[in-house]
Amino acid sequence: MVDFAKGYFRRSIFKTYRFFKHPRKLKTSPIMRWFARHFLDKRVWKPTQHTFAGGMAVGLFVTVQLLPIQMPTAAILAAIFRVNIPIAIALCWLSNPATLAPIGLLENWMGTWIMHKFGDPTAAAAAIVEEHETLARGIQFAKAMFLGGVFLGGALAPVGYVLSYLTWGAIDQWNKFRRQPDLPLEKGPDA
């Protein structure tokens, strides 16, 4: 029964894939062409060194944004940049309810520091709501979190890309080294 279900599921996936990639569909609809080019490309689903590292970068950038739509945002950005979609989505799970407070406080601290160091570009607009102290503090906190999230994500993305790219290469080299056959020890003429 399980084998039948697996086969049925696999056949239905292939039928759906062929339906979306059919040339008549792609010729008639620019939306389908964009969808097929970005989401049906096998490189965005099978990890390679570049797509894995790119998925890590996109996922790390999106995970610190603390948006309610992190996973769809990560999937769309990963598809646009043609990097690994599952890795980008999986990294969005780093910002869960247990890690929300530390990430939010780090973003707020970073954004507040940036606004004190370089100035607040929206200070004139924020002066309008200063009569409501609680609302003004909330807007200030939201601005600091947004600015800190963008800055922190922008800093984490290249670091994540480089580290995962180098780690993939090191693991690949290690696997190649391990697969080499052991050379027999040569016996000298004295043996």
Quick one: pLDDT at residue 54? Answer: 94
Contact present, 17 and 35 (Cβ < 8 Å): no
Rounded to whole angstroms, how far apart are CA atoms 164 and 161? 5
Quick one: pLDDT at residue 51? Answer: 92
* Averaged pLDDT, 104-120: 85
Tens digits of per-residue pLDDT, 18-47?
776 666 666 677 777 777 777 777 788 888
Residue 58 predicted with pLDDT over 70 = yes
Quick one: pLDDT at residue 160? Answer: 93
Residue 188 predicted with pLDDT over 70 = no
Rounded to whole angstroms, how far apart are CA atoms 38 and 107? 31
